[in-house]
Amino acid sequence: MSIVQHHPRRFETNRYVYPVISRRSGGLSVGVNLSPTGLCNFSCVYCQILGEPEIKNSDSVLINVPKLETELRNVLTAANDGTLYANTYLSSTPPEKRVLRDIAFSGDGEPTLAVQFSEIVNRVADIRRELCSAGTKIVLITNGTTLNAVPVRNAVRVMLDNNGEVWAKLDAGTPEMFRAVSRSRITFQKIVDNLTAAAKEFPLVIQSCFLMLHNEPPKETDIERYADVLNSITNSGGTIQRVQIYTVARSTAEKWATPLSDDTLNTLTEIVRQRTGLQIAAFYSK
């Protein structure tokens, strides 16, 4: 397993903060887990977390903010002085990847569902200003379901003032595909509306996972409809900064949710590129 495939969401005795070497960031990403109970309003077939009962059975919903702050300070300080890479799973990190790229709200569920989300974004922004270079991003990785909520929008504005980016999930181009992959009570149209409204206010990075379902890759027409949704967002005046298309790289909630081959991923990425003209990066299963 390469260092970029090794993504534990637990680090030493930490509950909330975990460092990973991220393919999509191209270096060190310090994750902030705001969902230690796995709270999420999606049930993605490829979710790595759904199959981990110890997370679902965890009972403390409220985040211990002082503990989170201490963990974040400790990890960032260790990243700055290099001790983070000694005697941990990060020890094989090549020198060119030992660069702090971002602090990412991610983890075991949908981070914006945490009741203390806004408060924690403000605290993390303060710590970033104190301990990180100006180039360090704050990234929100979200399924987009709450991007219409005023408190979430306000928190996103704080992030944007601190070199922030929002990476929003869109794994489908039709309601049928959305139901098959994301398995949420929230409608596909609601997600598209949220992404469109958000993209009109600030640039979005779209993250899309495509995969085999019961040994079947996505149909070409499904990928075309997906590209049409991206076009509908930009045609409405929204900005999509870039698109990250990837496939499954780790264990999944459902055994029949499996990775696409590199060739298939390349083919569908090209369809989307041709149809949208957007900047697209593909991430393979290995």
**Using CB under 6 A as the criterion, which residues of the chain lie in contact with ligand SF4 when the complex forms?**
40, 42-44, 47, 49, 109-110, 143
Question: Could you give the CA distance from residue 165 to residue 142 in angstroms, rounded to a whole number?
Answer: 11
Question: Which one, 85 or 167, has the nearer CB to ligand SF4?
Answer: 167
Nearest distance in Å: CB 192, ligand SF4: 16
Buried b (16+ CB within 10 A) or exposed e, 234-257: eeeebebeebbbbbbbeebbbeeb
Question: Which one, 34 or 282, has the nearer CB to ligand SF4?
Answer: 34
The residue assigned the tokens 């098959």 is 180
Pairing of strands 212-213, 100-106: unpaired
Nearest distance in Å: CB 233, ligand SF4: 19
**Structure-token pair, residue 271:** 């369809």
Nearest distance in Å: CB 124, ligand SF4: 19
Asked if 143 contacts 71 with a C-beta cutoff of 8 angstroms, the reply is no
Nearest distance in Å: CB 77, ligand SF4: 29
First to last CA, the chain: 9
Q: Would you call 169 helix, strand, or coil by DSSP? A: strand
Question: Which one, 76 or 206, has the nearer CB to ligand SF4?
Answer: 206
Nearest distance in Å: CB 38, ligand SF4: 7
Question: Which one, 40 or 140, has the nearer CB to ligand SF4?
Answer: 40
**Which DSSP category does 96 fall into?**
G
Question: Which one, 233 or 257, has the nearer CB to ligand SF4?
Answer: 257
